[in-house]
Amino acid sequence: MRELVPFVVIGLASGSLYGLAGLGLALTYRTSGIFNFAHGAIAAAAAYLFFTLHVSMHWWWPAAAVVSVGVFGPLAGLVMERLARSLVAARTATIIVATVGLLLFIQGFLYWHYGSAQRSFPEFLPTAAAFRITGVTVTWAQVINVTVGVGSFLGLYVFLRRTRVGVAMRAVVAAPDLLALTGARPARVRIASWIVGCTFASLTGILIAPTLTLNAALLSALVVQAFGAVAIGLFTSLPLTYLGGVVIGVVASVATKYLSARHGLSGIPGVVPFLVLITMMMVTPGRKLPRGAGRFEGARESGRRPPRPVLIGAPLVAGAFLLAVPHLVGTRLPVYSTALIFVIIFLSLSLLTRVSGQISLAHAAFAGVGAATFSHFTLDSGYPWLVGLVATGVVTGLVGVILALPAIRLSGLYLALATYGFGLLMETVVFQSWLLFGSQVNGVSARRPELGPIHAGSATDYYYVILAVVSATCVALVLLRRARLGRFLRGMADSPTALITTGLGLSITRVIVFAASAFFAGVAGALFISQVGQVSPVTFTSYSSLLYLGALTVAGAFSGFVTSAFLAAGLLVVFPAYLSGVTVEVQSMLFGGTAVLAALVSDGAVDWKTLAARLGARLDRAIARTDVRRRRSPVAARNVAAAAAGAER
Amino acid sequence: MLVLDGVTAGYGTATVLRDVHLTVPRSSVVALLGPNGAGKTTLLRVASGLVSPWSGAVLLEGEDVTGLSPDGLARRGVCHVPEGRGVFPPLSVRENLLLFSPPGEERVGLERALEAFPDLAGRLDQTAGTMSGGQQQMLALARAYIAGGRVILLDEVSMGLAPIVVDEIFAFLERVAGEGVSLLLVEQYVNKALAIADYGYILSRGRISFAGDAAELADEDVFSRYLGIEVGAG
Amino acid sequence: MTGATDAGLDVVDLTVRYGGQVAVDRLGLSAPLGRLTGLIGPNGAGKTSTFNACSGLLRPSSGRIVLLGEDVTRKGAAARARRGLGRTFQRMELFTSMTVAENVALAREARQAGSNPLRQQVATPRQWAAVQAATAEALEVCGITGLADRVVGALSTGQRRLVELARVYAGDFRMLLLDEPSSGLDKAESERFGTILRTLVSDRGIGILLVEHDMELVMTVCDELYVLDFGALIFHGTPAETKASPVVRAAYLGSEAVMEAAGLAERGVG
């Protein structure tokens, strides 16, 4: 027991901060209905700000802390509230994509501005020993972390019970309309809660940075610990949320002691929060989870189809161009090969998100499974290339069935969270196992096909192989979408209840769509590893999943099912090859920012006609308003006269 | 006091109210009757700002308040007790009363509420959602009494309650009306509502089909309009 | 009651509780095939809860649901639909991004596909022919053939109600639950709706259980009425008997009327 004490101390200190982050997340989610995927990114931004002020500009640390928590936190809260207010009436999927977009934007900005190298973050709190328990030294920094955590929790608890604003925050969760009817301004109450939530996030960010080092991804992923804590509190209870954070901290820390030395299991301590999240999502009955903001119904797809000449002409022109690509682009051919592979990834993602209204934040994991499996099938087991490709698709499809299990039980936000947890689990534990990439840094490798006239060494030959697979995928998915299954998927996005009450076994449909989507993503992963030769697990992270979703959202806002996949691949792969300034960081900002904007202006789908009409209407209203203000009194007088006449009737 | 002038309103593509004229004079009780689905609740929601009318105007003491937010209207004296239970279920009775009182007058509000409904005194720390339907409705009505509203809109406050509680509620409403506040009452207990009302309106399919003195609304007439059928010999 | 040849939907001793509140209280009713049965009552009387329990969207606290002579209490919503129970919704559950024809066709397709993974993906030519025929017939019967290629999201409430009705018609259900199908319709639309319902019942032998607030419609189209109040059955009879019933009057007019009905008040009932 005694040797556990140091791990428990460390766990308590970090767990207290997880709890703090969880409190902020739970509070804002409950009062606004918007679950903030960017909660950790806000914490990261605060930590970087603190770093700039304290380390680069040599400010005294309390001053830096006041600015990065006391000023930045509330400002972030104000921005978030404004964003949340514009999102409440959107579709659930749009809301998720919007805050994921914000995460991409902030993280991209931090990488872009500060560089992606990890920097050590100074422990600004005193590290002297405060006291000793059973021979273990407890530092002042640890004591302060726990005190801040407990103090914030108690402070929030009292605030929510004793002050009018605090009570109103709880009331706005239960009945926002009724709160407005009592004369309180719900918007003001929500602003208060966003300010508290984002301040808590900022506080967590600067306190946890010394133990995590300054790394935007690590800090943004802090949100996962918060997710876990909030899930333990069933998205409702603040005391349980805080306690959940502490438990996650302690369990993860103690697990480090037992598992860090064991090969293959060393990743487990780091995934304790995801395991907690996934477990909570899988065992909690859906009706116990609070319903957030947003509409479930309403598919992204409109029933309209472009005119016939376009329908036939566009693929012909595009096909001719793609056939000619190897003769046009010279040494950039690998870029186009990769882009074509990503077309398949985007098509398969689109099938899930756009056609059937499901959401998946783990799509890159399928591609990763595909790449590793293909390597094992072709190199280790010696399958011929084409057989390996199909077998890989089948295996990945089975993984898709696993991800379909939460989709049967959950929808909207909770499905998104479960898939995000699944993606992180794949990335940190399953990818490292011998089944997939193994523990080698270089990952696994594969060769290109050598069949008949196709020569493995020729980049051009392989380009045409890819083009053939992409064409086949396009045809298959377009047919699938127009077949009965496609109608069921669109129906599922519109009204699952209607499908169930007309007799459809919807669970089966969900399994099919996840399996189909994973199949194609797996095929893309196999093509990818053949193209580049060697793939390591860092190619397909959960951050990649978010980036794919962002890119597809941006492209999908302007174009149809097939076109958007090509457009997204172009944006993600081809675009940076021509503009050297477009790095992953810039793309992250670009996709993230655009995804947020697309969500704000038109619920994820930009239709220029409506947009113009809406802007026009807004302008009209603004003009009318100034008009009314100028002539307010005569209008009112006329209305009174009319009312008097009405009363006499 | 409160005037709806040619209000047309609805949700999405569905028009619920069509060109509705309705007046609640100062210090009077108006009963709004009509079959389910006629648009009574929507009418109250327009009056309290929860729904913005597509056309027409809402006037409060002669001032055009069309399109004002519900909290703005509440601060100007419109008190709407919505359908169902107008309480915050997860909050304690004390916390409910805190939010019901005007800012700065929380203590007075609490005292007045307990004076009106002494039953609540022993339940101040009970979670509102765990009380019986009748007790919750009393709590909701306490708001009408302590919020300092000048026009009170009541939506089916007696729905689903035992007859003895309903009697208590109507006694309370008479008392509130006696203090010079205007009431607009949507009620399924037609006879009870008409007994305390000065004026009556019947709304059917979103239009006002009758407007006049409450006394004019004879029992039989109400019944037939209400059910949309002729009453057979009874 | 059960097992009879015309047995449509039988609700036996149904109780639904939400937390401590009883929404439906030991309700028993029988809606046979080939008849239009009405279920009426004041707001909050438990009608929609009854519907949800019947169609399997809500688990009853106790009691049984018997569909076409078979106890389906433990079956899911989709399984009940495949056994011949269709329904519409007060707030309309439509595929708003699809055309009217697609909406109507999908009900039949969903019944054909059920939980068969292969059948969910493609239809056999015979099935497809059946879907086309059923869709055309349903559009015809409901008088919306002209709207077939319009996207549902762009239709008026009245038109949407007809699409939902056409959808359950095409689904080839033996028993229909219609939840306030006429709300949002104007008088003319509502009358046409009533005529369509009568056609369904008399020509196709379908059984309909109808929840409706429009008394005029209920009184003209229904063969039989059940009246609910506070979740319990307070009256059962023909429309004429219902109109004349003092108990029903009381439920609609309030407690004074109850006393009047019981002869406790001085004023007569009229």
Q: Say how far apart CA B78 and CA A564 lie, in whole Å.
A: 51
CATH class of the domain defined by A2-288: mainly alpha
Give the 3-state secondary structure of residue A183: coil
Contact A494 C94 (CB under 8 A): yes
CB contacts under 8 A, A 485-504 vs C, are: 485, 487-488, 490-491, 493-495, 497-504
> Does C155 lie at the interface with B, CB-CB under 8 angstroms?
yes
Strand order in B63-64's β-sheet?
A: B14-24, B2-11, B55-60, B63-64
- Here the tokens at position B191 are 């006879």
The pLDDT of C114-133, averaged and rounded, is 92
Average pLDDT over residues A579-606: 79
pLDDT higher than threshold 60 for residue A300:
no
Q: What tens digit of pLDDT does each residue of A614-625 get?
A: 667 777 766 666
Edge-first strand listing for the sheet containing C224-229: C85-87, C175-179, C207-211, C36-40, C224-229, C232-237
Average pLDDT of span C2-16:
78
Mean of pLDDT over chain C: 85
Taking residue A154's Cβ as centre, other Cβ atoms within 10 Å add up to 11
* pLDDT at res. C246: 79
Inform me whether the pLDDT recorded for A154 exceeds 60: yes
Is B70 within 8 Å of A635 when comparing Cβ atoms?
no
What does the pLDDT read at residue B225?
60
Res A639 pLDDT > 60: no
Instruction: Please name the member of C42, C184, C216 whose beta carbon is closest to the beta carbon of B228.
Output: C216
By C-alpha distance, the chain A residue nearest C124 is A484
Choose the mutation target among B13, B158, B202 for the interface with C, i.e. most C CBs under 10 Å: B13
Cβ contact, residue pair C95, A494, below 8 Å? yes
Question: Which token pair is A215?
Answer: 């790394």
Say which range, A392-396, B155-159, C58-62, C225-229, has the weakest mean pLDDT.
Answer: B155-159
pLDDT at B194: 86
Candidates A635, A636, A646; nearest CB to B23: A646
Task: Identify the pLDDT of residue B143.
Answer: 92
**Do residue A167 and residue B103 have CB atoms under 8 angstroms apart?**
no
CB B229 to CB C253 under 8 A?
no
Q: For residue range A100-144, list pLDDT tens digits in order.
A: 999 999 999 998 998 877 778 888 888 888 888 777 888 898 999
Distance between CA atoms of residues A591 and A558, nearest Å: 13
User: What is the share, in percent, of chain A residues with pLDDT greater than 90?
Assistant: 47
Per the CB < 8 A criterion, the answer to whether A500 and C78 are in contact is yes
CB contact (8 A) between residue C95 and residue A488: no
Per mean pLDDT, which of A292-296, A608-612, B12-16, C211-215 is the most reliable? C211-215
Instruction: Name the residue in chain B with its Cα closest to that of A628.
Output: B64
Look at residue C197 and give its three-state secondary structure: helix
- Using CA coordinates, name the residue in chain A closest to B47: A181
Would you call A506 and C89 a contact, using CB atoms and an 8 Å cutoff?
no
Q: What is the pLDDT of residue A626?
A: 61
Mutate which: C211, C212, C269, vs B, most B CBs within 10 A: C269
* pLDDT-wise least confident of A98-102, A280-284, B137-141: A280-284
Residue C178: pLDDT band by 50, 70, 90 thresholds?
A: very high
Average pLDDT of chain B, as a whole number: 86
CB contact under 8 A, A167 and B100: no
- Confidence bin at A346 (pLDDT 50/70/90): very high
Q: Which has the minimum average pLDDT: A505-514, B107-116, B206-215, C98-107? A: B206-215
A564, HSE (Cβ side, Cα atoms, 13 Å): 27
The domain C1-84+208-253: what is its CATH number?
Answer: 3.40.50.300
Q: Is the pLDDT of residue C259 over 60?
A: no
- State whether A498 and C117 contact (CB < 8 Å): no
Interface contact flag, C215 B188, Cβ < 8 Å: no
Q: Do C42 and B36 touch (CB under 8 A)?
A: yes
Mean pLDDT score, A434-445? 81
Reported as a single tens digit per residue, the pLDDT across A543-588 is 899 999 999 988 887 788 899 999 999 999 998 888 877 788 888 9
A126 near C CB under 8 A: no
How far from each other are the two terminal CA atoms of chain B, in whole angstroms?
40
pLDDT for A498 equals 92
Query: If you count DSSP H runs as helices and E runs as strands, how many of each does chain C have, helices first?
Result: 11, 10
Considering only CB atoms, C252 lies closest to which of B13, B227, B234, namely B227
Strand duo C175-179 + C85-87: pairing:
parallel
Best probe of the B interface among C18, C39, C43, C220, by most B CBs < 10 A, is: C43
Sign of the C-alpha dihedral, residues A366, A371, A374, A376?
A: negative
Whether the predicted pLDDT of C260 surpasses 70: no
Helix axes A222-232, A39-51, angle to 10 degrees: 140
The 3-class SS string of A247-304 reads HHHHHHHHHHHHHCCCCCCCCHHHHHHHHHHHHHHHHCCHHHCCCCCCECCCCCCCCC
Q: Would you state the pLDDT for residue B222?
A: 62
- Nearest-CA distance A174 → chain B (Å): 6
Test mutation, C82, C89, C95, chain A, max A CBs within 10 A: C95
Q: Between chains, do A164 and B103 touch, taking CB under 8 Å as contact?
A: yes
Taking all residues of chain A, what is their mean pLDDT, rounded to a whole number? 86
Q: In the numeric block, which tokens belong to residue A633?
A: 């009194």
DSSP state letter for A214:
B
pLDDT in tens, A407-433: 888 878 888 988 998 998 888 888 888
Q: What is the pLDDT of residues A204-242, one digit of tens each?
A: 999 988 887 777 777 777 778 888 999 999 888 899 999
Closest CA to A177 of B156, B76, B86: B86
On the question of pLDDT at A631 being above 90, the answer is no
In which element (H, E) is residue A229 found? helix A222-232
Give the span between the Cα atoms of A78 and C16, in whole angstroms.
Answer: 45
* Residue A466 burial (10 A CB sphere; 0-12, 13-18, 19+): buried
Q: pLDDT tens, B75-97?
A: 999 999 998 778 999 999 999 99
User: pLDDT at position C91, please?
Assistant: 84
Q: Closest CB to B226: pick one of C156, C219, C252.
A: C252
A74 vs C48 pLDDT, higher one: A74
Copy the structure tokens of residue C8. Answer: 């449509």
- CB spacing of C81 vs A301 below 8 angstroms: no
> What value does the mean pLDDT take over residues A295-309?
59
List of chain C residues whose C-beta atoms are within 8 Å of the C-beta of residue B158: 254
Taking CA atoms, what residue in C is nearest to B220? Answer: C270
Q: Residues B62, B2: contact at Cβ < 8 Å?
A: no
**What is the interface pTM, i.e. ipTM, of the complex?**
0.91
The answer to whether A463 touches A325, Cβ cutoff 8 Å, is yes
Which is it for the CA torsion C161, C162, C165, C167, positive or negative?
A: negative
Tell me, what's the pLDDT at A648?
40
Q: Out of A268-282, A330-344, A418-432, A628-642, which region has the weakest mean confidence (pLDDT)?
A: A628-642
pLDDT digit string, tens, across residues C55-64: 998 889 999 9
Q: Residue A627 — very low, low, confident or very high, per pLDDT cuts 50/70/90?
A: low
Chain C CB contacts of B190 below 8 Å: 252-254
| pLDDT of A649 above 70 | no
Q: Please give the structure tokens belonging to residue A97.
A: 């994509």
Across the interface, of B13, B223, B233, the residue whose CB is closest to C253 is: B223
Residue C23 phi, psi (nearest 5): -90, -35
With a CB-CB cutoff of 8 Å, which residues 292-351 of chain A face chain C?
297-299, 301-304
pLDDT confidence of residue C266: 33
Chain B neighbours (≥3 Cβ pairs under 8 A) are A, C
% of chain B at pLDDT higher than 90: 50
**Do the Cβ atoms of C254 and B233 come within 8 Å?**
no
Q: Give C12 to chain B, closest Cα distance, Å.
A: 24
Interface of A with B (CB under 8 A): 161, 164, 167-168, 170-171, 173-175, 177-186, 635-636, 639-640, 642-643, 646-647, 649
Helix (H, G, I), strand (E, B) or coil at A206: helix
Buried b / exposed e over C148-179, threshold 16 CB at 10 Å, is bebbbbebebbbbbbbbbbbbbbbbbbbbbbb
Task: Compare A54 and A443 and report the one with higher pLDDT.
Answer: A54
Query: In which band, very low, low, confident or very high, does the pLDDT at A201 lie, cut at 50, 70 and 90?
Result: very high
Pick from C97, C120, C122: CB nearest A508: C120
Question: Which of B219, B223, B225, B226 has the most C C-beta neighbours within 10 Å, making it the best mutation to test the interface with C?
Answer: B219
**Rounded Cα–Cα distance for residues A79 and C219 (Å):** 57
Nearest CA in chain A to B24: A647
How far is it, in rounded angstroms, from Cα A369 to Cα C214?
59
Give C88 to chain A, closest Cα distance, Å.
8
Query: CA of C51, closest CA in chain A: separation in Å?
Result: 12
Q: Within 13 Å of residue A220, how many CA atoms lie on the same side as its CB?
A: 25
Q: How confident is the model at residue C204 (pLDDT cuts 50, 70, 90)?
A: confident
- Other Cβ atoms closer than 10 A to A446: 25
Domain boundaries, chain A: 2-288, 314-540, 608-648
Check pLDDT > 80 for residue B123: yes
Contacts C78 to A, Cβ<8 Å: 500-501, 503-506
Does A299 have pLDDT greater than 90?
Answer: no
Q: How far apart are CA A374 and CA A364, in angstroms?
A: 15
Cα separation, C252 vs C246, whole angstroms: 10
- The arithmetic mean of pLDDT across residues A23-51, rounded, is 93
- pLDDT value at position B83? 84
